[in-house]
Amino acid sequence: MASLTPFAGPLGHRRAAHLLRRTSYHFIKPKVDQMAGQTAGQALNMLLQMNPLKQNQPIFKDLQTQGSPVETWLLPLPGTPQNSLPAEDFVLRRWVMIWWCNEALQDTGIGHKMTFFFHQYFQTTA
């Protein structure tokens, strides 16, 4: 049975690799080596840091209208009418899924894995 006593001392390679496998989609040997010398608290603080996005979010440009601005689809600008986004919402969902998967594979923290976990258990669409 697991102990509730806080773990003291450096993690070591085996525990660091296990922690990274459980908390992120992307871990490499240099990251394991870095975490091996850290305490559990230091490693957890590093994993909980929200990293900036690696890629720009998916965009939509209305090709029908000349000079139309490029609209971000995930976070539209304030005041953007919803009818300016394409009616074929299902087409853009595929782009967002691919974008999100690429972001998740490059994120070294726990953020994307937590997002995926919560989206499995809570309703996210109407």
- Residue ranges of domains in the chain: 52-106
**What does the pLDDT read at residue 17?**
93
Token couple for 125: 């669409």
Task: Classify residue 19 by burial, with Cβ atoms within 10 Å: 0-12, 13-18, 19+.
Answer: buried
**What angle (nearest 5°) sits at the alpha carbon of residue 46, between those of residues 106 and 6?**
130
Backbone angles phi, psi at 30, to 5 degrees: -60, -35
Can you tell me which residue has the tokens 């087409």?
A: 91
Q: What is the pLDDT of residues 12-71, one digit of tens each?
A: 999 999 999 988 888 889 989 999 999 988 998 988 888 777 777 666 555 555 555 555
Q: What is the pLDDT of residues 57-92, one digit of tens each?
A: 666 555 555 555 555 555 555 665 555 555 666 666
Can you tell me which residue has the tokens 């209208």?
A: 65
